Homo-oligomer: A and B are copies of this chain.
Amino acid sequence: MASPPPAHPRRLLPLFLGLFQGALLLFFAFFVNYNEPSAQAADTNFMANQLYSIFPLFQDIQVMLVVGLGLLLTFLPRYGLSVLTHNFLLLNFSMQWALVLQGLLHHFHHGQVRLDLHNLLTTEFAAVTVLISVGAVLGRTSLCQLLIMATCEVPVYLASEWAIITSLGVLDAGGTITIHVFSCYFGLGVSKALFRTAQWPVHPKETPTPHSDLLSLVGTLILWVFWPSFIAVLCQPGDAQHRAILNTLLAMSASAVTTVVVSSLLERDGKLSPGHLQNGSLAGGVAIGTVADMAMPPVAALALGSLSAVVCILGFRFLTPLLVRKLTLQDQCGIHNLHGLPGILGAAASAMAILVASNNTSRLAVAGGGSLLAGLLTGAVLRLPCLPQPPEQLCFDDSLYFKIQDQNESLGPGGTAEEVALALKEHV
């Protein structure tokens, strides 16, 4: 770290974010007001109930994204503070940016923008796509690059969501296609364009420790528990929502058990891989989204959950190494295995369920192909000289972004394992 300043324009981040906050304030000052339907509505009680039915689910989703997903990403043992912070900042930035874009669209149609909890929920879905996509390039990109990536991805998502849902007229309650498949191929496109030629060995700071794996597994468990809220929040209240909750619970339960089966079968000595558990247990939730609220036999939810765990883990074991070798395609967190493959499986299931395969193939093509292309373009933008990548030796390292205690200072009673280990190397 002798001379990072020239390579790292340290003022770019606060400048970009600061200007954005200023613009947001101006936009809100001129165009945004609260939506207060009960002022008009006769039945205040009805409105309050609306609020009470959506707010707890909204909170559950916030827990998933801020705490659950944040912890899931802490499997990188020296990069925990950074992933928690990046995840948190990207969520907030993307929601604000989606609010502006949504507002502009509505403004041109209806005059003033009216804000309510439902709007915020839609912007949260936009933010989810960003949080998934960055998983492909995590640890080797700067925070500025990730913010530019979010800036590009949110409008593409809003357009793609409009194309798939409004234009093609398909319901995708759990966002399997509009969120998971879309963001997966966007992220892979970015990764491909950004890391075009390089082909690294495993970075020494990339390998999880038992402790970072444990925290990451806690993140998985939080996501697993609250996933039904994510699927159910936009479903029709009543039977459809009830079905969505039950189907999601069944699919995720099957995923959890099947993950242990498949992971244990794949290892010569029958041991489990923490990475398989962290991802496979959630695959059912990704796949069930398209069909969760449909009136189908419950066995379909179980089967879909099992199958998606199988493809997720086979993807980690066989496809990811293949993509690296053949296509030099980096996928840091394996988003193709957790979001891409189960998403495609869910889309196929939905196609079979409603027997309109052509329709589904077309949406899948929109989500997959379109987002891949958009991702490639975004990745090309991230290679601009004004957006430098972190130097190789500081990848996956909190000290790139945080003031971390000097190693010699804290070698005393408060030192961490790594610091002790380093000291060991030097002293012994």
| Chain A residues within 8 Å of B, Cβ to Cβ | 4-5, 8, 10-11, 13-14, 17-18, 20-21, 24-25, 28-29, 32-34, 36, 38-39, 44, 47-48, 51-53, 55-56, 59-60, 62-63, 66-67, 70-71, 74, 77-78, 80-81, 84-85, 88-89, 92-93, 95-96, 115-117, 120, 204-205, 207-211, 213-215, 217-218, 221-222, 224-226, 228-229, 237-239, 241-243, 245-246, 249, 253-254, 256-258, 260-262, 264-265, 267, 269-274, 277, 281, 295, 297-299, 302-303, 306, 398, 400-405, 409-425, 427-428
Known: A213-B81, A218-B84. A29 touches B297 (CB 8 A): yes
Other-chain contact of A261, B14, B24, B260, B297 (Cβ < 8 Å): B14
5 further contact pairs, Cβ within 8 A, besides A24-B302, A32-B298, A271-B400 = A14-B262, A36-B242, A89-B256, A204-B414, A210-B398
Tell me which residues across on chain B come within 8 A of A221, comparing CB atoms: 66-67, 70, 84, 88
Known: A60-B59, A89-B260, A302-B25. A416 touches B413 (CB 8 A): no
Other-chain contact of A218, B67, B239, B243 (Cβ < 8 Å): B67
User: A24 to B301, alpha carbons, bound, how many Å?
Assistant: 12
Residue pair A17, B257 in contact (C-beta under 8 Å): yes
* Interface pairs (12), CB distance under 8 Å: A39-B239, A47-B239, A66-B225, A70-B218, A70-B221, A78-B414, A80-B211, A88-B281, A208-B405, A272-B403, A415-B417, A424-B427
Secondary structure type dominating chain A contacts: helix
